[in-house]
Homo-oligomer: A and B are copies of this chain.
Amino acid sequence: MDRSAALAAFAALSQETRLETFRLLVKAGPAGRSAGAIAEQLGVRQNTLSSHLGILLAAGLVGKRRDGRSIVYAADFAGLRALLTYLLEECCGSDRAACSPLIASIIRAPSGETS
């Protein structure tokens, strides 16, 4: 993960339809969802969504596979992890003693809490 890849990923998540798409795919898990199903669920046109999916794909946040006539998209968790790793690189100047509690405070509670 380099700078421009990280910028692309954050830009991808900074648009409402794309953020909701990604969250929907996170909820869907490895099974993913077809492009049409996503478009219907979010209430956006297919061509608009297709453009957004292309941006998420280029950013490495989702993967796609063909299933019959449909194309199924799924969240790319490895890509997301690479992004977070880039963001937290050399946290606290690699001063583990100062950094570990901060990292720990970030990665707790993956679901449900308002923080």
Q: Which interface class (under 10, 10 to 19, 20 to 34, 35 or more) fits A?
A: 35 or more
| Copies of this protein in the complex | 2
Whole-angstrom CA separation of A7 from B14 in the bound complex: 5
Q: Tell me if A's interface is mostly helix, strand, loop or mixed.
A: helix
Whole-angstrom CA separation of A115 from B2 in the bound complex: 12
Contact (Cβ within 8 A) B88 A106: no
Whole-angstrom CA separation of A73 from B77 in the bound complex: 31
Contact (Cβ within 8 A) B110 A78: no
Tell me whether A98 and B30 are in contact in the complex, defined as CB-CB below 8 angstroms, given that A11-B14, A85-B111, A106-B80 are known contacts: yes
Nearest CB to that of A99 among chain B residues? B29
Would you call A71 an interface residue if the criterion is a C-beta within 8 Å of the partner chain's C-beta atoms?
no
Tell me whether A115 and B81 are in contact in the complex, defined as CB-CB below 8 angstroms, given that A89-B23, A91-B27 are known contacts: yes
21 A-B pairs (CB sep. < 8 Å):
A1-B115, A6-B13, A7-B16, A10-B10, A10-B11, A26-B87, A26-B92, A27-B91, A27-B92, A28-B92, A30-B102, A77-B102, A77-B105, A81-B106, A81-B108, A81-B109, A82-B115, A85-B109, A85-B113, A89-B111, A90-B111
